[in-house]
Amino acid sequence: MIFETHAHYDDDRFKEDRDVTIQRVCDSGVAPIINVGASISSTKTTMELAEKYDFIYAAVGVHPSDIADLNDETFAWLKQQTLWEKTVAVGEIGLDYYWDKEADVQEKQRYWFKRQLELAAEASLPVIIHSRDAAEDTMKIMKEAAAKGIRGVIHCYSYSPEMAQEFIKMGYYIGVGGVVTFKNAKKLVQTVSELPLDRILLETDCPYMAPEPHRGTRNDSSNIPYIISKIAEIKGITPDEVERVTRANAFELFKRVNFRD
């Protein structure tokens, strides 16, 4: 069985066939699945899915592009959700300077990023980190987090191989998804080639980032074998070894997940 560490099955793109898709994915050999919140509303729908399916778990958090959702009241609500037994991480949280160029908005992103990291520390939960065009600030904040014993994964990793090595030295995992199969993903391929397998987690970010040969279509977790095959090719090992080690990695990080096949 494959451990899917980052999905968004509550997304509207699954509206017409959500239950059928989730069951098909599980039947194809993917379970457990972590569905990841990105706003207050999607954290609520994420938790509804985790309530409905025994093999789906919840990550609760607010994406940097949705921090308008956050205030004292909603943050207090978010804190309460970390206590639920099927909440296994705080995420996805982080920084995204690609869309938000204004200094005051970036300052607010850093503020809520740090607040949500504190939330994870209080709940003894790992974090799922989103970072885009914010390498320096992300590294600085994550070094501070690591010093406080906060663990986690850098989701959809897009920076240099050298920076990836810095993250794993601090104890973080690197999330690898469909992008690794893209023809123009030379930097990520190099990163994967240099990473120890015991620091890699599998993810799709579905419905986004479908791997080749399905790039551009709606993604789901049944596409993870394409990611596994590419990692195996890069590292010169078998797909079975990639599946086995990454699954063990995920259970080691997300300790509240108790689903076993």
**Nearest-angstrom CA–CA distance, 261 and 257:** 12
pLDDT value of position 261: 65
pLDDT value of position 100: 82
Return the CATH fold of 2-253.
TIM Barrel (3.20.20)
pLDDT value of position 99: 86
**What pTM, to 2 d.p., does this model score?**
0.97
Cα–Cα nearest to 207, from 221, 228, 197, 194 = 221
CA distances to 45, 69, 160 from 36, in Å: 10, 16, 25
CA distances to 57, 74, 119, 219, 244 from 205, in Å: 15, 25, 23, 8, 20
pLDDT value of position 260: 73
Which residues in the chain land under pLDDT 50? Answer: none
